[in-house]
């Protein structure tokens, strides 16, 4: 799958966080997150491993019991089942890859069991 960049297609995830699934395959799914300054990504967990990269901004990312100040160029990997959340300190953009594919992140017209 190849996809050209577009500023369309973002949907709200939680207050102050918009997301767009960019591409996906049988084993991985890539999502872009637009994170508004002052927003909180509540603590949560899911069975997918989550690998991320901060493109711009500043966030305080808590993974399990450790909090990290993430700056552009920083990256992380969160094992499946580990609780995590974030405080958005500056307007930020993050790219994250999930494995296995998060069914709830598939575009509605493309949802299927993989």
Other beta carbons within 10 Å of 27: 10
Residues contacting 29, CB < 8 A, separation 6+: 21, 23, 97, 98, 99, 101, 102, 105, 106
Verdict on whether the full-model pTM lies above 0.75: yes
* Burial class for 100, CB neighbours closer than 10 Å (0-12, 13-18, 19+): middle
Whole-angstrom distance, CA of residue 24 vs CA of residue 16 = 24
pLDDT above 70 coverage of the chain, percent: 95
Residue with tokens 């069975």: 47
**pLDDT at residue 70 greater than cutoff 60:** yes
Domains of the chain and any CATH numbers: 11-104 (2.60.120.10)
Tell me the average pLDDT across 19-43.
97
């Amino acid at each position: 799958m190849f996809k050209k960049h577009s500023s369309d297609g973002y949907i709200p995830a939680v207050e102050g966080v918009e997301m767009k699934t960019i591409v996906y395959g049988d084993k991985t799914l890539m999502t872009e997150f637009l994170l508004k300054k002052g927003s909180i990504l509540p603590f949560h967990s899911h069975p997918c491993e989550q690998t991320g990269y901060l493109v711009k901004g500043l966030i305080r990312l808590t993974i399990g019991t450790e909090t990290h100040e993430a700056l552009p160029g920083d990256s992380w990997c969160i094992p499946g089942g580990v609780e995590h959340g974030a405080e958005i300190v500056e307007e930020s953009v993050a790219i994250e890859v999930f494995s296995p594919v998060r069914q709830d992140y598939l575009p509605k017209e493309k949802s299927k069991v993989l």
